[in-house]
Structure 1
Amino acid sequence: MELRQLRYFVAIVDHGSLSRAARVLHIVQPALTQQLQLLEQELDVQLLHRSAQGMLATDAGKIFYEHAQAILKQVGDAKSAVTQSALRPTGTVALGIPQSVSGALALPLLMAVREKYPEISLQLTEELSGNLIEQLKSGRINLAVLFDDGQLSSFAVKPMIEEQMMYITRAKSQFAHKGKSIRLEQATQAPLILPGFQHGVRPRIEGLMRSAGLSINDVIDINSVAILKSALLADMGATILPVAPLMAEIERGDMVALPISDHVISRTVVLCASKNIPLTNAAHAVEKLVLEVAQTLCASEKWLGTSSLM
């Protein structure tokens, strides 16, 4: 198996066509077809099949595609590690950010990287935490912002911030509370719009409710941040979440966030890297910058409801 075969296969999947992949790769189509056949013969499995939509990966092909991407990325990182300068880091760095954090961190970080390290290409991936963990383990991303649930021992972990969860409603909502804070029991009186249990936020909220002898009587399960926002703006209920995913609406005055006075609901946000795959100089530079940007956002209160752990 050759690296060029991996590159060829990834290009075919990405472009959905042998002819388009051949043009991008600057090789003739028969040669591309031959290399694909050799790869399938070596693996003794069909990786692609033709359809009305073009060339699509089979189930085996989808699995192989993820591994091929990870291998090609690590090869590229290895080349960068031995050629780049520590003073002028260059190359591509892939950083994973959960959906519930990207609203606060993604844009300030992109701007900081472009200003301080213009020769670094930062690739941001917004995913659920579980997906980011798998991508970090396989080497498909260099770094990931995750939530410390005590299950991250396989990674090199750097604490960033403690993020408080708040009671959030539409401005002038029927479920709004008039005070400057709200008790947890009062918060449970409204229909609560919450992420599903595959999100780390939900089990933490449910666990605190049980320990306080409370229960949620009316829950609307929504896993999409965009749809959750729409439901809040339609005044279908309230939510208990960190502020980050709803920060734009809160800053505009479309939503209101209140701290919960009698219980602390928070999560620890950390920056993780693989213990087994070395970081390039560029990745080290981005790692340091992520921590700096997070600390600045926390100190300036632009990332509401947070306290620094650095």
Structure 2
Amino acid sequence: MLLDSRRLLYFLRIAEFESFSQAAKSLHIAQPALSHHVRQLEESLGVSLFNRRSRGITLTEEGTALLHHARSIVSRIEDAENELRNRTLEVTGSITLGLASSIAAPLTPLLLNSVHSKHKGITLHLVEGTSAALAEWVISERLDMALNLEDVVEHRCMPLFNEDLYLVGPAGAFANDGATQISFKAATLRPLMLPARHHSMRMLIEREAVKRTLTIKTAYEIDGHGPLKAAIAAGFGHSILSWAAIQQECAAGLLSAARIVRPSLRRTMVLDMPTRGQPSRASLAIRTILHEIIAELFRSKTWHGQLRFQPGTSSE
């Protein structure tokens, strides 16, 4: 190869200063050595790159033609070096991540374990909240990002997965692996314990009931997944929840569930982020970890539903 990055850099400095002596000083090399490298470059290319005059030097036509290419080549080499250098540096920073209540409990240990093993320089602050609160906190930039329901997010966001909804009862009411199915109409005939009317899950259920001219029998109103699941386990009634929200209790034999069909009830979880500015390296690292964890949860059938991204692709 006739051209190498060092000689191209020398050539650029001489063209910039229009002086061998000034270029040599900026490069911290002796002027004779710099002149020798340029002569070798000219001989290898078979052209003169500089007009050498007593009052200074100027580029020849061939030198001007090389100048554009040399700038591009040296710039690309520097970009590659910087990118590779940055990849070896530890990712640091503080990220505040909001989690919808339905997925906070199962995701928390997985997130902490992955961040600790892969990015010890990242301080992760987890915040559990209602869907409405998470959406508001992202807008106000109290959160760097949030796993939330698509229905409550007002701007464009990153879809993660669709999750099926289940009629949840005490142990023994249904299979504990989620294999049982029940029609939406049959589910509405059960006394249901639901969150307050402003809650996104309640609105989804009632919207579907109105479409089908069905009446919801609300036995109790309970906000909060912990109290709601405790009431179900104690036999006070049924509720409608996602599999992610109940998978651990079903596996432990505390609850059971039937997937709602005819029609299937689903909702979409997204990664909501502020629209201003570019994400930090720490933010991108957490996004990648979230993708990896969620992809594995669906691959292993721990969670039920449909991924909305291609596993293994970069979230950047």
Same fold (TM over 0.5): yes
CA distance in 2, matches of 1:218, 1:272: 31
| Counterpart in the other structure of 1:115 | 117
Contact 1:85 1:281 (8 Å CA) reproduced: no
C-alpha displacement of 1:247: 2.1
| Counterpart in the other structure of 1:99 | 101
Contact 2:132 2:152 (8 Å CA) reproduced: no
Q: 1:259 to 1:252 in 2, by over 3 A?
A: same
Query: Which amino acid is the alignment partner of residue 168 of structure 1?
Result: V
Contact 1:139 1:277 (8 Å CA) reproduced: no
C-alpha displacement of 1:105: 2.1
Q: Deviations over 1:96-121 (max 9, x none)?
A: 00111213322212211111112111
C-alpha displacement of 1:195: 1.6
| Counterpart in the other structure of 1:272 | 272
Point out the more displaced range, 230-239 or 108-117.
108-117
| Counterpart in the other structure of 1:191 | 191
Alignment gaps of 5+ in structure 1: 1-83
Contact 2:158 2:271 (8 Å CA) reproduced: yes
What secondary structure does 2:103 align onto?
helix
Contact 2:190 2:238 (8 Å CA) reproduced: yes
Identity of paired residues, percent? 27
Q: 1:131 to 1:278 in 2, by over 3 A?
A: same
> Does 2:307 align with 1:308?
yes
Alignment gaps of 5+ in structure 2: 1-84, 310-316
Contact 1:103 1:247 (8 Å CA) reproduced: no
> Does 2:228 align with 1:228?
yes
Contact 2:99 2:128 (8 Å CA) reproduced: yes
Query: Which amino acid is the alignment partner of residue 230 of structure 2?
Result: S
CA distance in 2, matches of 1:165, 1:265: 5
C-alpha displacement of 1:86: 4.8
> Does 2:132 align with 1:130?
yes
Aligned residues: 221
Query: Which amino acid is the alignment partner of residue 298 of structure 1?
Result: F
> Does 2:197 align with 1:203?
no
CA distance in 2, matches of 1:127, 1:151: 14
CA distance in 1, matches of 2:142, 2:108: 19
Larger Rg, first or second structure (1 or 2): 2
What secondary structure does 1:295 align onto?
helix
CA distance in 1, matches of 2:250, 2:96: 29
CA distance in 2, matches of 1:198, 1:150: 11
C-alpha displacement of 1:148: 0.9
- TM-score normalised by L of structure 2: 0.66
Q: 1:151 to 1:132 in 2, by over 3 A?
A: closer
| Counterpart in the other structure of 2:218 | 218
Q: 1:221 to 1:150 in 2, by over 3 A?
A: closer
> Does 2:246 align with 1:246?
yes
CA distance in 2, matches of 1:218, 1:99: 21
Contact 1:169 1:237 (8 Å CA) reproduced: yes
C-alpha displacement of 1:85: 4.6
Contact 1:86 1:281 (8 Å CA) reproduced: no
| Counterpart in the other structure of 1:263 | 263
Q: Which structure's relative contact order is higher, taking Cα pairs within 8 Å and 6+ residues apart?
A: 1
Query: Which amino acid is the alignment partner of residue 184 of structure 2?
Result: L
Query: Which amino acid is the alignment partner of residue 223 of structure 1?
Result: D
Query: Which amino acid is the alignment partner of residue 94 of structure 2?
Result: T
Q: Deviations over 1:233-271 (max 9, x none)?
A: 110111111122222211111111111231111110000
| Counterpart in the other structure of 2:38 | none
Contact 2:135 2:152 (8 Å CA) reproduced: no
Contact 1:193 1:219 (8 Å CA) reproduced: yes
Q: 1:277 to 1:220 in 2, by over 3 A?
A: farther
